[in-house]
Amino acid sequence: MNNIIKMLVATGTKLILGFFTMALGSVIIINCIIGVAPWDVLHQGLSLVFSIGVGRAQIYTGIIIVTLDVLLGQNIGWATILNMFGIGMFVDLLMFNNLVPDFSGLMIIYKLALIIIGICLQGLGTYFYISTGYGAGPRDGLMVALSRKLNKPFGLVKSVVEVLVVGTGYLLGGNFGVGTLIMAFLAGHIWQFMYDKMGFNISAINHRFIEDDIRFLKEKFQKEETPE
């Protein structure tokens, strides 16, 4: 029992640390005011239209995406659900309390450096929560599900979806700029470089999904009901 409790505490700590680190990276990039990540362009646009926090817009978008994941037959884990709420809550906590400075007055070279720092923090946060093995983020799951459903390469699906997301977010007033282009074209490479140095193979993680836990509980319940 003690081992189970220790495992749950360790997993919970990694998830919370991962979500906070990702949120911190996102807010640093947002506060540079030279463009944000493709999905954050949409989140910013929605926050302006509906007068809500960027984090809350991220949560509402995540709920819709997770629903689509399920409808498309994509397995989701507990980390997927917690990701949906955790990152958005931390983003609003940091932004509403001004816990990260406004970098808009800095020279462009410093802003670019901060964006790289933000990308590295997001990559580190992704490592923390994905390494628990309880599912990836809602948006990654959607790309996988669409790729499988449409029988198209993952990279193509990701590019098309992010172009649509950026276009919609920009029309709604989201911040599109050089930071968005850096995120779109460099973030993946920076994360991969980090993971290689850490010896972390993201594709080698065997995730445990909610479906697995439901099946386990059903089998256990059936065994208890079956008379010997």
Q: Is the dihedral of CA 29, 35, 38, 41 positive or negative?
A: positive
With CA atoms as reference, report the closest residue to 158 among 1, 39, 29, 9.
39
Residue 88 has pLDDT above 70, yes or no: yes
pTM: 0.90
Of 97-101, 116-120, 127-131, which gets the smallest average pLDDT?
Answer: 127-131
C-beta separation of 104 from 39 below 8 A = no
Contact (Cβ atoms closer than 8 angstroms) between residue 35 and residue 184: no
Give the count of domains, the chain.
1
Instruction: Show the domain range for 25.
Output: 2-225
- Give me the amino acid identity at 48: L
pLDDT category, 67, cuts 50, 70, 90?
Answer: very high
